[in-house]
Chains A and B, each alone.
Chain A
Amino acid sequence: MLLEVTNLDSGYGFLQILRSVSLSIDEGEYVCIVGPNGAGKSTTLKSIAGLVTPSNGEILFKGEPIGGLPGNKVARKGISYISESLNLFTNMSVQENLYMGAYTIKDRKLQNDQLEFVYELFPRLEERKNQLAGTMSGGERKMLAIARGLMSNPTLLLVDEPSFGLAPQLTENVFASLDILKQGGMTILLVEQNIHKTLAVTDRGYVLENGKIEIEGKSSDLADDPHVKKVFLGV
């Protein structure tokens, strides 16, 4: 197992969001967490990424405990978190943002290799490399956030709501680029509201409700599950 989360309790201050969440991801898998608003999907990702400190439970990454480490140390272990609000450096150019993504890589040549790789994946970013990140459109910013997350050459990509605030066409583009990454062997943990699309592209899924994992299984099985159908699809 690449990532193993066992009995994770987490939340903000006195507010407990996650109750004994357990999940695991193998190398090369494309896994999703779906669930209604406020179920704790983002909190799960943030707890893994070290932006929220878990109060209980264990997070193992490549067999090493990473629960409770600050975000910068988690990032150095090879986990890239792409947040819902993107957290771009808005007053830096696209290229500078990308180089910041490779902050943990000291070797200039490796940095440039990664840069070439993400420019190949998102040619749009190369056209705009000198533009300030804050002046780009929503879709381009999303691409930049994903590209910046890839710059550190991560083993595990945590993606939070990539379709949030995007037009349907742009959402397709983002999903397509995640597919390409998956083909290339990247391990991805995806959190999404767009359940149709998500269950269609991922291998395996977890359904999170009120901070607990309710159902887990193959994405195709989940899509046929009567409970999921009733709660999310309204049929």
Chain B
Amino acid sequence: MLQTLLKGVFEWLKSAAGITILSSIVLAIVVAMNRGPFILVNVVVMGGIMALIAMGLAMVLGVMNVAQFAHGEYFMVGSLIAYLIFTPMAEYLNQNPSPVLAFLAPLLTIFCALIGGGLAGAITERLIFRELRKRSKENWVMNTFLLTVGISVILINGHQLLFGTDFKGIVRYWSGPPFSFYDMFMSRDRVYTMALAIIIVVCFWLFMSYTRTGRAIRAVSQDEIGALMVGINLDGIMTLTMAIGCALAAVSGGCLLYMYPSYPTVGLEPLYLAWIIVILVGLGNIMGAFVGGFVVALLKVVTVEYVGAGWDFVVPIAIIIIVLIFKPSGIFGTEVRGALDK
């Protein structure tokens, strides 16, 4: 019994997933001992948020087979909603201080970003992708890719037209002294957003694994015809998928408003990062995207620490190129039989 278990563990450690996870943990520990534990905090904060964005992207890709290049714009929508809601609330709180409200206001803001992003995603699906699906399924991947690029252009320019190009940011969500932990100081915003990201990821994972609807979403990503045969309403699942995917991007935008102020092209960096993660772990693999978020965050943080801040995109991309040469289906393989052959 123990022997088979150990054998299984060794087998897993020899697989690409095992090697990646193990070497990431080793790298994290070595760097933390060398430069200090604050590295780990940065990785967890960055990683949690990046995992959220990448999971949304992976889900849309896996279920709808849409190469979503407007994902960053839903991040932008989320940060804009958060800004528009939080600024008046902060002003009100300045005049009428109240510790309870000061704690709740950012939570409400981020919740609104989540709902707003979900609605935006659902509307996009209903108005654009469903109409396309009804009319033609030929060249679906290419057509939807071009559509998402179009959506991205419209949203970026829409933001510019309606709200201008200036940075719409806030100084902080939660005021107060930073938390201290051993000899590190962590701002309240970081700790709270990290906690929020983890709660959302866990809820999302539970939803996908154990609920009837979550199972249906996975079923559609594995076999659309099979899903139809057991009585799943494809249109409903597609709308829900897009809504959840966009909501995850938007809630990340809301969470990170204190780091990334809202401006028209704020979504580009998260978009690139999410695509890097999704390609690295294998297209459409949702749980892989969760792990990949942390791996890429670690690579970024380590690069900034040892090489320089300008290199934090170069090193992860170089590593991805190397990984893809040796394992073209990505680290965790892929559930989707090639995003291109459906």
A binds B: yes
A interface residues (Cβ-Cβ under 8 A, vs B): 49-51, 70-72, 75-76, 80-81, 83, 86-92, 96, 99-101, 103-104, 148-149, 151-152
Contact (A92, B229) CB under 8 Å given A72-B234, A87-B223, A103-B212: no
Complex: A225 Cα to B335 Cα, angstroms: 49
Residues of chain B within 8 A (CB-CB) of A87 are 223, 225-226, 229
Give chain A nearest CB distance to B134 CB in angstroms.
11
CB-nearest residue of chain A to B222: A89
Give chain A nearest CB distance to B298 CB in angstroms.
27
Give chain A nearest CB distance to B187 CB in angstroms.
40
Q: Are B229 and A89 in contact (CB under 8 A)?
A: no
Partner of A92, one of B219, B231, B232: B219
Residues of chain A within 8 A (CB-CB) of B226 are 86-89
Give chain B nearest CB distance to A201 CB in angstroms.
24
Residues of chain B within 8 A (CB-CB) of A88 are 223, 226
Q: Are A100 and B215 in contact (CB under 8 A)?
A: yes
Residues of chain A within 8 A (CB-CB) of B223 are 87-90
Complex: A76 Cα to B230 Cα, angstroms: 8
The 4 closest A-B pairs by CB, nearest first: A87-B226, A75-B231, A71-B228, A104-B231
Residues of chain B within 8 A (CB-CB) of A152 are 230-231
Complex: A86 Cα to B229 Cα, angstroms: 10
Q: Are A83 and B230 in contact (CB under 8 A)?
A: no
Residues of chain B within 8 A (CB-CB) of A83 are 225, 229
Partner of A99, one of B215, B222, B229: B215
B interface residues (Cβ-Cβ under 8 A, vs A): 212, 215-216, 218-219, 222-223, 225-234, 335
Residues of chain B within 8 A (CB-CB) of A71 are 225, 228-229
Main secondary structure of the interface of B (DSSP, over half): helix
Residues of chain A within 8 A (CB-CB) of B219 are 89, 92, 100, 103
Q: Are B229 and A91 in contact (CB under 8 A)?
A: no
Complex: A99 Cα to B223 Cα, angstroms: 15
Give chain A nearest CB distance to B109 CB in angstroms.
36
Contact (A76, B222) CB under 8 Å given A96-B215, A99-B215, A103-B216: no
Q: Are B215 and A72 in contact (CB under 8 A)?
A: no
Contact (A100, B230) CB under 8 Å given A88-B223, A89-B223, A90-B223: yes
CB-nearest residue of chain A to B213: A103
Q: Are A103 and B231 in contact (CB under 8 A)?
A: yes
CB-nearest residue of chain A to B336: A91
Contact (A72, B233) CB under 8 Å given A91-B335, A96-B215: yes
Q: Are A91 and B222 in contact (CB under 8 A)?
A: yes
Give chain A nearest CB distance to B232 CB in angstroms.
6
Residues of chain B within 8 A (CB-CB) of A100 are 215-216, 219, 227, 230
Give chain B nearest CB distance to A163 CB in angstroms.
20
CB-nearest residue of chain B to A82: B229
Residues of chain A within 8 A (CB-CB) of B231 are 72, 75-76, 103-104, 152
Give chain A nearest CB distance to B148 CB in angstroms.
26
Residues of chain A within 8 A (CB-CB) of B215 are 92, 96, 99-100
CB-nearest residue of chain A to B229: A81
Q: Are A51 and B222 in contact (CB under 8 A)?
A: no
Residues of chain A within 8 A (CB-CB) of B234 are 70, 72
Q: Are B222 and A49 in contact (CB under 8 A)?
A: no
With A71-B229, A86-B226, A100-B215 known, 8 other A-B pairs at CB within 8 A are A49-B229, A50-B228, A70-B228, A89-B218, A91-B222, A96-B215, A100-B219, A103-B230
CB-nearest residue of chain B to A145: B226
Identify which of A72, A99, A101 gathers the most chain B CB atoms within 10 Å of its CB: A72
Complex: A50 Cα to B225 Cα, angstroms: 11
Residues of chain A within 8 A (CB-CB) of B227 are 72, 89, 100
CB-nearest residue of chain B to A102: B230
Give chain A nearest CB distance to B219 CB in angstroms.
5
CB-nearest residue of chain B to A149: B229
Residues of chain A within 8 A (CB-CB) of B233 are 72
Give chain A nearest CB distance to B300 CB in angstroms.
30
Give chain A nearest CB distance to B157 CB in angstroms.
37
Give chain B nearest CB distance to A188 CB in angstroms.
16
Give chain B nearest CB distance to A159 CB in angstroms.
12
Residues of chain A within 8 A (CB-CB) of B216 are 100, 103
Give chain A nearest CB distance to B61 CB in angstroms.
15
Contact (A148, B230) CB under 8 Å given A87-B223, A88-B223, A89-B219: yes
Residues of chain A within 8 A (CB-CB) of B222 are 89-92
CB-nearest residue of chain A to B226: A87
Complex: A50 Cα to B232 Cα, angstroms: 13
Q: Are A104 and B230 in contact (CB under 8 A)?
A: yes
Q: Are B230 and A51 in contact (CB under 8 A)?
A: no
Complex: A71 Cα to B229 Cα, angstroms: 6
Complex: A101 Cα to B216 Cα, angstroms: 10
Contact (A72, B212) CB under 8 Å given A89-B218, A91-B222: no
Complex: A75 Cα to B228 Cα, angstroms: 8
Residues of chain A within 8 A (CB-CB) of B229 are 49, 51, 71, 75, 80-81, 83, 87, 149
Q: Are B228 and A72 in contact (CB under 8 A)?
A: yes
